[in-house]
Amino acid sequence: MLENNNENKKKSLGRGLEALLGEMNEDVLDNELAAIPSDNMMSVSDIHVSPLQPRKEFDEDAIKALASSIKEKGVLQPLIVRKDDTGYELIAGERRLRAAKEAGLSEVPVIIKTLSDREVLEIALVENLLRENLSPIEEATAYQNLIDNFSHTQEKIAEVVGKSRSYVANTLRLLTLPEKVKDYVNEGKITAGHARCLVGLDNALNLADKIIKDDLNVRQVESLVAKQKDGKTSSDVVTKKALAKDKDILEIESNLNKNLGLRIKISPNSQGGGKVVMQYASVAELDMIINILSNKKGFSLSSPVEEKNEENPGDKEKFSIKFVD
């Protein structure tokens, strides 16, 4: 069974990663294997964390649990480091280093390698992915780092980490979410599946809060987002129809403007009603409007279509504006 697990891990490495890792074979990546001999013991004070480390959050309870194990059995797996100007930069094994310090160890076993910055990031990324230590946002940030600083394509990243290109692309899209939503993902309040549903939505944060409050699963969120998108599409169509003015309304506006000498705006709504707005440019025009309303003066305005309908002359009064008691 152990050999099968190791074989699966080995296959999950991207092509060429084993060449980068060298003696860091699949055994080194398995926490449950026996101790690995190492000729290199190094003071923990000589090792510093790499700025290229993609993992930013560590479970302190898990560190303490590992420290208890280290006190009893020691560090079973060597850390991987490289020499730099200030000592030795940690490439893989930050969790073990933290736990070793917590356990009070002064030295840890190490493997010293010569690696480029690109290789450092790739190894750190793969190690964390194999151990499922990275949050989806940390994983996406590491991918973006490879793209921005090392000219990796999505295809190249997929090859390195043993994932599909579409997986890499969907993971990168998480970086477009609002910062608060990304915090929720890092804190484990919502999953990557939840987060992917929210990408591209204006109300992503509101929906994220609803997910947490109502404890929604991914399928429920997908349904909620689909309804929201369908509702928005329908609303846009209704709004455009409600705002569109037909020729009759435009003709009435024109006739009112001519007869009253005022700028008149008619705004119909989708329920068959609407509003008429009279604009005035001076006190004299305002007085005229007041006089018209006070005197109950009426105006009969017909549409062009109805003026042609001589058989039904009564229809000419359809658009009449009358002020009555």
Query: How far is 167 from 160, CA to CA, in rounded Å?
Result: 13
Answer for the pair 3, 9: CB distance below 8 angstroms, yes or no.
no
Among 26, 89, 94, 122, the active-site one is: 94
Query: How far is 38 from 25, CA to CA, in rounded Å?
Result: 14
Answer for the pair 27, 6: CB distance below 8 angstroms, yes or no.
yes
Mark whether 32 is an active-site residue.
no
Active site residues: 94
